[in-house]
Amino acid sequence: MIRRAFAWMILLALFAPAHRAFGETIELRVKDIAQFATISPDAPRHGWVGYNYGDGTFGTTRLDVSSRTSVLVQYDLSVIPDNMRITNAQWALPIQHSSSSQVQLYTWRILAPWGPGACHAYRTTLPKPAPWRQPGARAMGVDRTIRPTVVVKVGEETDELALNVTRDVEYWHSGLQPNRGWILTVEQNDAVVSLESPMYIGIEDWILRITYEPR
Amino acid sequence: MTRQTLLITLGLSALLAAKLPAGEMQSPPDWVTTIAAPGATCSAVSAPGRLSFFGGHDDQGGYLLLQPLDAKGIPTGDAQRMREPFVGAARRPLDVRAHPSKPLLYVWRDRLPDSDAPQEPFAHLLVYRITNSALQEAGAFATGAAFASGKHTGMMTLDLPHDRLFIPNALIQDAKGEWTPAIACVDLDANGLPKTRDDGDLAMRSSPLGRLAAPLGWPFGVVGATRDVVMFGANRGFGVWEWAEPEARLNMLTLNWARQECMMIGHPDESLVYLVANGWRYLYVMRHVDGYMTMMPRIVPLQQWGAMSQPQVIASRNTLAVGAFNGVYLVPLDDGGQPTGESHRLHVAAERVVTLAYNETFDRLYIPVEQSP
């Protein structure tokens, strides 16, 4: 432990000034996800409704984003030093498949605070259940933003997305808005975008790349 | 060599040295006891009865090994090997559980898988009173078509506050009258005995398992989150049984398509459950709120070999133990029950450690080995 700390101290002492001077690009991965939920009215108290078998059972080995299932993700951004300006932020998501060639995947900023126990019915259940304004975090302007951050078309051949979320990360890092993460939705009925699960084989492929430089 | 190059070299060297895998532990900590029980597949420890139990099947048939313990839980005197309950149609103990506060032992027995032994009905569940380091049968239960026979595995669990017993390999009749796997429990009376109906059958509560039932058996550890919601290890993941729902709603959450026996245990003080799959090299640490999983799980790689036993939480020592090939993983936990990122492998003289028993009263972990150290 002491040797490890010593090694990090030496390396940080060597490289940290350069980072501060010129900025850098960092990658936030699954381990940096501070809050996560995948929610559906089909299991209103559960926070891990990745996909629905249709018989009252659900899986987490992939995440279906549809008009009935949404994914909520908040990254811990505290690793970005103060007084930095975000110049680029790309959120890479691994796609397993899309139900058609023109499914639109929406990314919205979440406005309402949420936390442990988050599910379709509640934004948190600790210390006591607190409901979303509209179940599923669907109330625009209260639970989530009025306008989506980005809307992308996902085709049947798409295997990875890179969502441009630069403005959101800059909002959060500058303190203009509290970081409450994003919600991914599909608004069209009977359309599905399936993501590789960050709990399973997608664990290495969920990456938020952020480039920053001194203000 | 410039000063900067030297510092980089020193730093990288120290970092690489620090990243070397943790060494194997050859000798057990003083809170670990190994007991010679070759081929043991189930185990339990009774503090009120001062006995440890290891069950399995060897070349002479099914057995239950009774090892007397002293007041500190340390083996004392000779062990006895009990074979009488396993000479009929039921040939081996599938699981054993000791009541934490009463001198009672619950034994779930079964036929050998794929055996051509006689098919006459037998009681799967035997309850014994422990008196003077011996077992006295207090009742035999769970006979008939509502219990699957010839299974490889399946676990019992005594739910807190020890007034209901979850039983393995139960069946329930569907709308067509066909028997289908079910999660099931029986309430225990004040003496710790299963409650029965007027006809003598167990007064079970059950719900069909559907795809949560692994072919080899079910379930693999039950964790009671509240009186209304329980979680349990299952086929390729785990299930959540919501008692309060009108239809006892059951949800399944798959974690891994390839692994069938996902074994679960809960932390006694934190809202955390730990799950490993048989033969899988990862430990899942999952937070729940009243039985509903929340946030991201932590996925901790074990060192070299896959897990083979249900994990055991040794909360007093901030450690999680998991049986493995030739040893036991000891995973350090922080005060909140989360793994610190390290894991140690305690080498023991057993090819496969598929069962572990931790007793809170003795604060001691018991590991079956091939022969006495």
Chain A residues in contact with B15 by the CB 8 A cut-off are: 4, 7-8, 11
Q: Report chain B's mean pLDDT, rounded to a whole number.
A: 89
Residue A189 near chain B (CB below 8 Å): no
Distance from CA of B314 to the nearest CA of A (A): 23
Per the model's pLDDT, the better-predicted residue between A60 and B63 turns out to be B63
The average pLDDT across B121-144 equals: 96
Per the model's pLDDT, the better-predicted residue between A4 and B275 turns out to be B275
Instruction: Give the whole-angstrom CA distance, residue A182 versus residue B66.
Output: 57
Q: Is A12 left (phi over 0), alpha (psi -120 to 50) or beta?
A: alpha
Q: Which residues have CB under 8 Å from B144's CB, separation 6+?
A: B121, B201
Chain A residues in contact with B252 by the CB 8 A cut-off are: 53, 57-59
Give yes or no for a cis peptide into B121 (omega within 30° of 0): no
Per the model's pLDDT, the better-predicted residue between B92 and B212 turns out to be B92
Residue B334 near chain A (CB below 8 Å): no
Residue B244 near chain A (CB below 8 Å): no
Instruction: Say which range, A15-24, B215-224, B291-300, B337-346, has the weakest mean pLDDT.
Output: A15-24
Chain centroid to Cα B218, Å, comes to 12
Between vectors from CA B191 to CA B185 and to CA B193, what angle results, nearest 5°?
Answer: 35
CB pairs under 8 A between A and B: 110
Chain A residues in contact with B257 by the CB 8 A cut-off are: 61
Question: Contact at 8 Å (CB) between B218 and A13?
Answer: no
Residue B339 near chain A (CB below 8 Å): no
Per residue of chain A (215 residues), what is the pLDDT tens digit?
Answer: 556 666 666 655 555 544 555 689 999 999 999 999 999 999 898 899 998 888 777 888 899 999 999 999 999 999 999 999 999 999 999 999 999 888 999 999 999 999 999 999 999 999 999 999 999 999 999 999 999 999 999 998 888 999 999 999 999 999 999 999 999 999 999 999 999 999 988 999 999 999 999 99
Identity of the amino acid at A188: Q
Closest CA in chain B for residue A115: B295
Looking at residue A47, the DSSP 8-state letter turns out to be S
The average pLDDT across B326-349 equals: 94
Chain B residues in contact with A3 by the CB 8 A cut-off are: 14, 17-18
pLDDT band of B21, cuts 50, 70, 90: very low
As a three-state string, the secondary structure of chain B is: CCHHHHHHHHHHHHHHHHCCCCCCECCCCCCEEEEECCCEEEEEEECCCCEEEEEEEECCEEEEEEEEECCCCCECCCCEEECHHHCCCCCEEEEEEECCCCCEEEEEEECCCCCCCCCCCCCCEEEEEEECCEEEEEEEECCCCCECCCCCCCCCEEECCCCEEEEEEEEEECCCCCEEEEEEEEEECCCCCECECCCCCECEEEEECHHHCECCECCCCEEECCCCEEEEEEECEEEEEECCCCCCCEEEEECCCCCCEEEEEECCCCCEEEEEECCCCEEEEEEEECCEEEEEEEEEECCCCCCCCCCEEEHHHCEEEEEEEEEEEEEEECCCCCECCCCEEEEEEEEECCCCEEECCCCEEEEEECCCC
Distance from CA of B155 to the nearest CA of A (A): 22
- pLDDT for res B66: 98
A46 contacts B293? CB cut-off 8 A: yes
The average pLDDT across B24-36 equals: 92
- Which is it for strands B282-289 and A130-131: parallel, antiparallel or unpaired? unpaired
Please give the structure tokens belonging to residue B265: 């245990």
Chain B residues in contact with A116 by the CB 8 A cut-off are: 287, 289, 294-295
In 3D space, the residue among B101, B211, B113 whose CA is nearest the CA of residue B153 turns out to be B113
A14 contacts B251? CB cut-off 8 A: no
Long-range contacts of B185-189 (CB under 8 A, 24+ apart): B185/B159, B185/B222, B186/B141, B187/B163, B188/B162, B188/B163, B188/B164
- pLDDT for res B117: 65
Residue B248 near chain A (CB below 8 Å): no
Closest CA in chain B for residue A49: B253
Residue A57 has its nearest CB partner, among B8, B210, B296, at B210
- pLDDT for res B244: 66
- pLDDT for res A132: 98
Closest CA in chain B for residue A123: B294
Give the C-alpha distances (Å, rounded to integers) separating B345 from B19, B29, B82, B227, B323.
16, 12, 32, 36, 9
Distance from CA of B364 to the nearest CA of A (A): 28
A7 contacts B11? CB cut-off 8 A: yes
In 3D space, the residue among B368, B369, B286, B272 whose CA is nearest the CA of residue B315 turns out to be B272
Instruction: Give the whole-angstrom CA distance, residue B224 versus residue A1.
Output: 37
> Would the pLDDT of B65 be above 50?
yes
- Kindly report the pTM of this predicted structure: 0.89
What interface predicted TM-score (ipTM) does this complex get? Answer: 0.84
Residue A59 has its nearest CB partner, among B17, B19, B253, at B253
Chain A from 7 to 66: CB within 8 A of any B CB: 7-8, 10-11, 13-14, 30, 33, 35-37, 43, 45-48, 50, 53, 55-61
- pLDDT for res B165: 97
pLDDT band of B373, cuts 50, 70, 90: low
In 3D space, the residue among A134, A129, A107, A106 whose CA is nearest the CA of residue A118 turns out to be A129
Question: What sign results for the dihedral spanned by CA atoms B11, B12, B18, B24?
Answer: negative
State percent of chain B over pLDDT 70: 89
> Would the pLDDT of B16 be above 80?
no
Between vectors from CA B224 to CA B219 and to CA B225, what angle results, nearest 5°?
Answer: 130
Distance from CA of B354 to the nearest CA of A (A): 25
- pLDDT for res A10: 62
Give yes or no for a cis peptide into A127 (omega within 30° of 0): yes
Report the residue of B180, B254, B273 to disrupt the A interface, i.e. the one with the largest count of A CBs within 10 Å. Answer: B254
Chain B residues in contact with A203 by the CB 8 A cut-off are: 299
> Would the pLDDT of B350 be above 70?
yes
- pLDDT for res B14: 42
Residue B258 near chain A (CB below 8 Å): no
B240 contacts A14? CB cut-off 8 A: no
Chain B residues in contact with A117 by the CB 8 A cut-off are: 289-290, 292, 294
- pLDDT for res A101: 83
Residue B342 near chain A (CB below 8 Å): no
The average pLDDT across B279-305 equals: 90
Distance between start and end Cα atoms, chain B: 54
Residue B251 has its nearest CB partner, among A10, A58, A125, at A58
